[in-house]
Amino acid sequence: MRKSISPYFVSALLCCLLATLLLLSAQLKAAERVIKISSDPWEPWVFGEEGEVATGGWSIDITNELFQRLGIKTDIQVYPYERCIRQMKTGERDMLLMAKKTKERQKYLLYTDVSVNDPQLLYYATNRNNAFEWSDWSDLNKLAIGGVRGFNYGKFHDAAKKHDITLELTENDLQNVKKLLAGRIDLVMLNRSTAQHFLSTHPEFRGRLQAARKPIANAEFYIALSKKGAATDLLPDINRVLLEMKNDRTLNKIIESTD
């Protein structure tokens, strides 16, 4: 006599099939999803031509590893920094790399928990100054200092207004270094990693660029998500994976291997 199939068995089988289908559906959606990421060209963190796909750099390698672990595709494009900020305000793109945290930006950005540190220093041309050091913002009175348009330099912005410091802005750090060495500005603000990269890749700069010991800021940089973008739901997962990458030293290894 043929035994009848238990309705409980049928129900359990259907539940398993449904769970499998839901899992496959979620995996397919994750595979199809593309997160739009922006950054300015900032060597050695980000390489690439403005308006095109990023070609490499520490931050790009970190981001690629992060989203590979999440199983999500990315589109990382390079733009002038001011445009990156506008994109985050409108939600035109989803994420911004190497963003400083400010009260103003927290109105339209969500920040990851994990950051990277890169001190911002004042550099001078050795052919124009034997040595330059400063201890107070007033020491910079009447000086012309180069920076990148749209970039945040912490307390320097308020100090510049108070102490009559001229802030001359360009599109990127390399332009500023060339202006400095040509005698068109007195000092330039650079992150230490950027200056070291320039000195290693531009032989003509060696021996001509030196930093004051005191930093203008001990800068922390984060991955930031536009509140109007399509990636805000990923913040907990991004934080989880970034912490894994910090703990297993992947973050350090990426930077050390390309230093």
Alpha carbon distance 110, 242 (integer Å): 15
Q: What is the pTM of this model?
A: 0.74
pLDDT at 258: 47
pLDDT of residue 10: 54
| pLDDT at residue 15, as a whole number | 62
Q: What is the pLDDT of residue 24?
A: 53
Q: What's the CA gap between 219 and 189, in Å, rounded?
A: 12
What integer pLDDT is reported at residue 228 of this predicted model?
98
The reported pLDDT for the residue numbered 12 is: 63
| CATH architecture designation of domain 33-117+220-258 | 3-Layer(aba) Sandwich (3.40)
Distance (Å, rounded) from C-alpha 209 to C-alpha 123?
Answer: 6
Q: What is the mean pLDDT of each run of 10 residues along the chain (259 residues)?
A: 55 63 53 90 92 95 97 96 96 96 95 92 87 94 93 89 94 94 95 92 93 92 97 97 96 74
The token pair at 212 is 């004051």
Q: Give the Cα separation of 144 and 163 in Å (integer).
A: 12
* Residue spans per domain, the chain: 33-117+220-258, 120-211
Q: Looking at domain 120-211, which CATH architecture does it have?
A: 3-Layer(aba) Sandwich (3.40)
The region that residue 155 occupies, defined by phi over 0 for left and psi between -120 and 50 for alpha, beta otherwise, is: alpha
The predicted pLDDT at position 32 comes to 81
pLDDT of 4 reads 56
